[in-house]
Amino acid sequence: MNANVLQTPIVYLKGVGPNRAETLQSELGIQTYQDLLNLFPNRYLDKTKYYKIAQLQRSNAEVQIVGKITNIKTIEQKKGKRLVATFVDDTGKMDLVWFRGQKWLRENLKINVPYVIFGKCNWYNGIFSMPHPEMELLSEHEKGLKIAMQPIYPSTEKLSAKGITNRAINKLMQQLFMDTKGKFSETFSTSILTELKLLPKAEAMFNIHFPKNLDLLAMAQFRLKFEELFYIQLQLLRKNMLRKQKIKGYCFDKVGTLFNKFYKHHLPFELTNAQKRVIKEIRADLGSNAQMNRLLQGDVGSGKTIVAVMTMLLAIDNGYQACLMAPTEILANQHYNGIKELLEGTGVSCALLTGSIKKSARRPIHEQLESGELQILIGTHALLEDKVQYQNLGLAIVDEQHRFGVAQRSKLWHKNEIPPHILVMTATPIPRTLAMSLYGDLDISVIDELPPGRKAIKTVHRYDANRLKVFRFIRDEIKKGRQIYIVYPLIQESEAMDYKDLMDGYESIARDFPLPEYQISIVHGQMKPADKDYEMARFVRGETQIMVATTVIEVGVNVPNASVMIIESAERFGLSQLHQLRGRVGRGADQSFCILMTGHKLSAEAKTRLETMVRTNDGFEIAEVDLRLRGPGDIMGTQQSGVLHLKIADIIKDNDILKTARYYAMQMLKIDPALEKPDNLLIRHAYSQLVKYKNIWNYIS
């Protein structure tokens, strides 16, 4: 069928008109025939069976009965009236009851004419009754499209108020199928249809809206979910492929002396198999003549920094400079100190550039960068300033990239004629399902094992009533020379309340851990950055034993001596935040602990979050649970939540279909990158139509 017909504005469909068109657009985003067609039901009522009145059971199932009305009466009640009709079939009788719309019903209901009624039955005073049944004359019912399973479409209060009920949408859908004669162009090749035993497109569309039976409905759902996910994967994979063809990268073809010297003499510990695998993947990218665009995921403490350093050394060995950009000064400082220590004795020159570095100190950095004398530059957004010019930037590493805007990142890309290779690092585990859809056009590497010798953090859940025991435990740990974090939640809407919680907590801790025996640091969002840094620095140097803070310490503070993380009101935190906070401890050789403190009243979801934290330290497993609890939009944060407007598939529940779709898209592009083979022409046509009418969403990467 001509795709243009489906682009007809919805206002032209019989039964719509300007007012309804406006409501359908504002409430459901329906502007064209195509949009209405893609309004898929969220559930179905089984209308395959007609019951006899004598068969009715006292359950709250919805049933369908054929019979006649024999009389109608109005009954007075305390408030207003009710209309009651006696409904009979050849096995018995029941009541139909209405509390509103009585005048219209009295005038329009026909006596002794066969009706099909549908609804829930109540058992009242020894007789079944059905309040506000759906009713249709048997003659009309037989004329309509035979709908065995009745679809229930998404709705809103405004739609119902404007009279656009489920029944109305059903009628519009029937009209649409009559107008288009139900002929919808196939979008798959014969080989895919045969191999996966998929329903043809037209049959799938009919059975998703008017399923003949449960089996056909299941087949239609599979076919349409697969199609949606297949075309999204096809777009992401093609984007990646075309970028590799178009965007040439520097070729780092040699593994030189610096890399080998570092590997043999300066590695502080044996690399894990996961680190070795990731370095191999990066080396293959760097030697391929195409620009690398890789996402490196690794849980807190998995050793991403060593991988970053070795990638930088590959760039330097090939005559290029490298830079690393972090979202905060604390993190940039930490990277700088850590990397400087690792590179000691290698002769590699390295500098730090952040907002607080004085102007006088910046000039030599700018000069050495332009002359090529400076090989590695580490810093914050300051790296993006126009004054920062490189002699030949070959590699840019971005830490925690979701904290940078797209515009900021593209500035970094344009520092050269040829864009540098890009390595994006994140300690926020992104569930594999989401990564496949959100970052499908980036190559993904995962470090999924911790360095040897790291002890897993012990996590426990304690109620407020156990506080004295917890304080006793803190004293014991401080006696052993350890340091403690105590974190309070931060909920933007009530800063005053949060501040009060924090200060109350701080006061009670100061009472239990008095001066001069104990020193306490405090850090919160209302402090000046300089004061915050001063307090952090005292804790890092070990001058204070307890750090009381809001979530400002979530990312990046590295204090190997801190072995206990106490999270107050843990039920108010999301799972990924709890996991990030826990990652602040467990950085030294000692056993570390994370204590989740809560009150006794907990929602079911909060219980699931706390149980998950106690059960596992695996960031990916935690991210999967988080995704199930919160849905894809929330996980990526509101700025990216528009990403996954899927029409029928659900990336969590349909994870297996997503993997199959990605596999088929990959195989196809391997054999036929331009989709030119005769068997793939339908796919090529469908793909170009989707892109033309913007029905494949441009995913953020």
What is the tens place of the pLDDT at every residue in 421-436?
A: 999 898 777 776 677 6
Question: Exposed (0-12), middle (13-18) or buried (19+): which is 630, by Cβ within 10 Å?
Answer: middle
- Taking the C-alpha atoms of residue 558 and residue 152, their distance in angstroms, rounded to an integer, is 53
Predicted local confidence at residue 536, as pLDDT: 85
DSSP 680: G
Predicted local confidence at residue 437, as pLDDT: 67
Whether residue 700 has pLDDT greater than 50: no
Question: Tokens 């029905």 map to which residue?
Answer: 695
- Taking the C-alpha atoms of residue 111 and residue 90, their distance in angstroms, rounded to an integer, is 16
- Taking the C-alpha atoms of residue 214 and residue 207, their distance in angstroms, rounded to an integer, is 9
- Taking the C-alpha atoms of residue 620 and residue 428, their distance in angstroms, rounded to an integer, is 9
* Ramachandran class of 166: left when φ > 0, alpha when ψ lies in -120 to 50, beta otherwise: alpha
- Taking the C-alpha atoms of residue 644 and residue 653, their distance in angstroms, rounded to an integer, is 14
315 compared with 655, residue with greater pLDDT: 315
Pairing of strands 81-89, 92-98: antiparallel
At 638, is the pLDDT very low, low, confident or very high (cuts 50, 70, 90)? very low
- Taking the C-alpha atoms of residue 29 and residue 159, their distance in angstroms, rounded to an integer, is 12
- Residue 683 CB: number of other CB atoms within 10 A? 22
- Which residues have CB under 8 Å from 449's CB, separation 6+? 272, 273, 274, 302
Pairing of strands 350-353, 376-379: parallel
Predicted local confidence at residue 141, as pLDDT: 83
Predicted local confidence at residue 699, as pLDDT: 33
Residue 547 CA to its chain's centroid (Å): 32
Whether residue 413 has pLDDT greater than 80: no
Can you tell me whether residue 526 is helix, strand or coil? coil
Nearest to 286 by CA among 261, 256, 263, 257: 256
Question: Exposed (0-12), middle (13-18) or buried (19+): which is 497, by Cβ within 10 Å?
Answer: exposed
Tell me the CATH number for domain 48-146: 2.40.50.140
Predicted local confidence at residue 235, as pLDDT: 87
- Taking the C-alpha atoms of residue 437 and residue 597, their distance in angstroms, rounded to an integer, is 35
Question: Exposed (0-12), middle (13-18) or buried (19+): which is 401, by Cβ within 10 Å?
Answer: buried
- Taking the C-alpha atoms of residue 229 and residue 643, their distance in angstroms, rounded to an integer, is 14
Could you tell me the pTM of the whole model? 0.66
Read off the pLDDT of residues 340-361 as tens digits, 9 standing for 90 and up.
999 999 999 999 999 888 989 9
Tokens for 192, please give them. Answer: 């895919």
- Taking the C-alpha atoms of residue 429 and residue 132, their distance in angstroms, rounded to an integer, is 51
Residues forming a β-bridge with 470: none
- Taking the C-alpha atoms of residue 411 and residue 422, their distance in angstroms, rounded to an integer, is 13
Residue 388 CA to its chain's centroid (Å): 35
Q: Are 440 and 230 in contact (CB under 8 A)?
A: no
Can you tell me whether residue 501 is helix, strand or coil? helix
- Taking the C-alpha atoms of residue 243 and residue 246, their distance in angstroms, rounded to an integer, is 5
Sheet containing 122-124, strands listed edge to edge, beginning at the edge strand earlier in sequence: 122-124, 127-131, 92-98, 81-89, 62-76, 115-120, 134-137
Question: In the CATH hierarchy, which fold is given to the domain comprising 458-616?
Answer: Rossmann fold (3.40.50)
Whether residue 594 has pLDDT greater than 60: yes
Whether residue 362 has pLDDT greater than 70: yes
Read off the pLDDT of residues 178-188 as tens digits, 9 standing for 90 and up.
999 888 999 99
Exposure on the CB side of residue 85, measured as CA atoms within 13 A: 25
Pairing of strands 62-76, 81-89: antiparallel
- Taking the C-alpha atoms of residue 250 and residue 318, their distance in angstroms, rounded to an integer, is 9
DSSP 110: P
Predicted local confidence at residue 643, as pLDDT: 45
Predicted local confidence at residue 616, as pLDDT: 92
Average pLDDT of the residues in 614-642: 67
Average pLDDT of the residues in 114-134: 90
Considering the four listed CATH numbers 3.50.50.60, 3.30.200.20, 3.40.50.300, 3.30.300.340, the one that applies to the domain covering 257-286+302-426 is 3.40.50.300
Whether residue 677 has pLDDT greater than 90: yes
DSSP 264: I
